[in-house]
Structure formats: structure tokens, C-alpha cells
Amino acid sequence: MKNVTLQTNITSLRGTVSIPGDKSISHRSIMFGALAEGETIISNFLAGADCLSTIACFRKLGVAIEEDGPLTRVFGGGMNGLVQPEQLLDVGNSGTTIRLMLGILAGRPFEATLAGDSSIAKRPMTRVVKPLRQMGAIVEGKNNGEFAPLTIRGGKLQGITYELPVASAQIKSAILLAGLQAEGETAVIEPTRTRDHTERMIVQFGGRVERDGNTIKVKGNQSFKAAHIDVPGDISSAAFFMVAAAITKDSEVKLVNVGLNPTRTGIIDCLKQMGANIEVEPVKSDGEPVGNIIVRSSSLKGIEISGELIPRLIDELPIIALLATQAEGETVIKDAAELKVKETNRIDTVAKELSSLGADITPTDDGLIINGGVTLHGGTVSSHGDHRIGMMLAVAGLIARSEMNLLDASAIEVSYPQFFEHLSELIHS
């Protein structure tokens, strides 16, 4: 529960940040490395608390994983290499870990129990438990499997065709990971395109996956070969500095090595639509698309953010809400009810914390309405244990007119342990 006094009312932000590895891709590189045959070598792995939880879970499943300076090595024993864990699998604060691991464990012929922190205990799990049960896994947990702790006994699975009730890469990935181990074919139909890192990684590890419109299909009984994965910088982490540069005066920030997978670049589209001064320089890469992003102080206008754009910037909505407080006119965020089931109810926590700093922000059933052009003042705010809320509030501090204290700042370690260090390197006061 580290509390920090934030730097407020700064003059400008200038410099370059090399953005740490993408959280979604880091999780998946460990998972596929564990299921593949041989030594997988990962560079730029994100050593944030969530991804370290994934490593700890796979070690308990018998997989050797070495953190070797800048490289992470996973010694996979193939699909049948996982062994029944002797202890509970602790996913910490990570929704991606628990949901994707359920998909993997659904196909394994042993029992395992997964649990996490108090936030994980409140996040909905029926969304993955239901399709996995349909495929043949046995899952037990509180409220008929809605909440962790969850005990899963996997085994012989049958492929299914499943229409996702919400646009979620975690549900899609859990079903695909089970489908890769099932008899026959598994098809997942997504209502709107979501991040496709799992599909890309299936191919990188020598597997097969097909996409036809919004339907993704995998054949069962596949096996994987070890791979080299170079994890790009996390655009969801870069977003905090993009917004920070846009809303502060005399600023110019360059973010290097950022993942530019089109299923994740909604924040760039949103900044452009709001009138931000932003440039993107693509950089050659073998795997996921990567580039550098340069953002300068901007004069911004309010927009509507809704529909298919939402899954492409879902984790950036807290920092976009702050951006909107500095734009002229109204910003309406809708179709984003999924924000209610993240680490916190992000509609409520964003509205509560930004209102306490003087923002004009109203929570709705599926988003937020923000009237911009407001000067923020200081005060005591809290991350509520949610890393993205913590980083958004630290960025709000940069433009706050009086002292600001952030409670529970340590939550930021979930996705960006070097956040304060990188921020202070940019500050010119």
C-alpha cells in the first residue's frame, strides 16, 4: 500500500521512453512456451506482477522457466508436459492469467485450483466456465463457477462453435486454447474484433488457425514447437505518456518500440480524432507490428467513442477520460459496460476520482460523459488497487494546480513497475 506525493503543475514533458513489454503478449509467450516442445526464448518480457503470476503458475505445473538477464527461457514439454500442481495456482490480480489458464487446464487430465486477490474474486468467470463445460471440462466454484477460487478437472474435450456474448479476447483465447486440445474443430464467433495475440502466437509456435470474418477456427490435437518471441512495447502502457504529452504545455515525447497491432491501436485513432499532434513511425519487425510514436502538446476537442473502437482501446479508457477533461466540449464514451468488470468498476472509479479533482464527469450504464476544458486541482486520490487508475491519476497530477497524494500507488507494479522512474525522467519543472 505505497502512498506517494505526486509531482504537480509541471512545466513540460520532454524525452524518449523505451516502453516495457506488452502484458497480453508476455502472458501468452509463457503459456505457449510451456505447451510447446523445447526451449522458447523470450526477449523484452514484461516483469510486471501479472506476468510474474503467470510464470509462478506454470512453475507449479512443472514447467522450468528461467529469468536470464534480458531473456526469459521456457522449457516446454509439449501439451502433455504439464503435471498436476501440488498447490493452489495463485493468479494474483490477473484476469488474463486465470481465464486463459482455465482454457489450457480444460484439456489436461488432472485437477487444479485457481485463485487470486480480492479483485479477482469479484470478476465474472461464467463467461469462460460455460463454454469450457460445454466442451467437457468439469469446473466448480462459488455461485456455480461465477467466482474464483475455481477448481477445474480437464480431460477429453469436444470442439464447439461458440458465439461470444461480449467482445472479449480473454474468452476467445480460453476457448481457442481448449479447442487446440479438443477432438474436432472449435469455432469462436466474436461480435466485434478483439486483440488477436493468441491467434498470432498459435502461428508463431507452428500451429494452425483460420479467420473468416469474425469467426476464428482451430482444429484440435495440435502440437507446438518452441519459438523466439520478441515482445513489443505495450501500447496500453505507452498510452499514459501519449496523453501526458498531449495535455501538458511545451511537451514532446517519443515512445519507442511500441506494439502497433491494429486490434490495439484505438488510442492512436482516438488521439488523432481529438486533434492531437501525434506521429507514428513504423519500424521493421518479424512478429507483431512495431513503431515509434511521437506526441506533442495538443489542442484537443471532445468526440464520441463507441462501437467497434471500444475493444481496440478498452484498457485505455481511464486515461482517455482524463484526456477528455482537457478537450474543448463534450466527450461521450459508450458501449463500454465491460469497464465495470475490470480490476475495479472503472466507470465508477474513474468518475469518482476525477470528480474529486474538479472534473465534470458523469458515469452512465455503459460509459462516461465528460465536459472538458476544466482546470484540475489537487487532493488525495486512490488507485483503489487498480494499476490503470493509479497511472491515470499520476498523469492527472502533472496538470493539477495543487498538491496531490496517490494512495495505493503500488498497484501500478501490475503492468508497469518502472512507471514513476520513466515519468520523472520526462519531467522538466
Ligand X SMILES: O=C(O)C1=C[C@@H](OP(=O)(O)O)[C@@H](O)[C@H](O)C1
Q: In what order do the strands lie in the sheet with 161-163?
A: 161-163, 185-189, 215-219, 210-212
Spot the catalytic one: 50, 196, 315, 386. Answer: 315
Residue 236 and residue 337: Cα distance in Å, rounded? Answer: 19
Least spacing, CB of residue 6 vs ligand PEP, in Å: 21
Least spacing, CB of residue 94 vs ligand X, in Å: 9
Partner from ligand PEP, ligand X, none binding residue 168, C-beta < 5-8 Å depending on class: ligand X
Partner from ligand PEP, ligand X, none binding residue 388, C-beta < 5-8 Å depending on class: ligand PEP
For the four alpha carbons of 66, 46, 223 and 177, in that order, the dihedral sign comes to positive
As annotated, the binding site for phosphoenolpyruvate includes 23, 95, 123, 170, 346, 388
Judged by CB under 6 A, does residue 342 bind ligand PEP?
Answer: yes
Query: Which positions ≥6 away from 206 have C-beta within 8 Å?
Result: 36, 223, 224, 225, 227
Residue 398 and residue 392: Cα distance in Å, rounded? Answer: 10
Judged by CB under 6 A, does residue 96 bind ligand PEP?
Answer: yes
As annotated, the binding site includes 23-24, 28, 95, 123, 168, 170, 315, 342, 346, 388
Least spacing, CB of residue 264 vs ligand X, in Å: 10
The per-residue DSSP string of 304-368 comes to EE-GGGGGGSGGGHHHHHHHHHTSBSEEEE-S-GGGGGSSS-HHHHHHHHHHHTT-EEEEETTEE
Least spacing, CB of residue 342 vs ligand PEP, in Å: 4
Judged by CB under 6 A, does residue 261 bind ligand PEP?
Answer: no
Q: Of the two residues 90 and 315, which places its CB atom closer to ligand PEP in the complex?
A: 315
Partner from ligand PEP, ligand X, none binding residue 331, C-beta < 5-8 Å depending on class: none
Judged by CB under 6 A, does residue 335 bind ligand X?
Answer: no
Judged by CB under 6 A, does residue 202 bind ligand X?
Answer: no
Residue nearest to ligand PEP (CB): 95
DSSP reduced 3-state for 277: strand
Half-sphere exposure of 231 (CA within 13 A, CB side): 28
> Is 365 designated active site?
no
Q: In the complex, which residues of this chain contact ligand PEP (CB under 6 A)?
A: 23, 50, 94-96, 315, 342-343, 388, 415
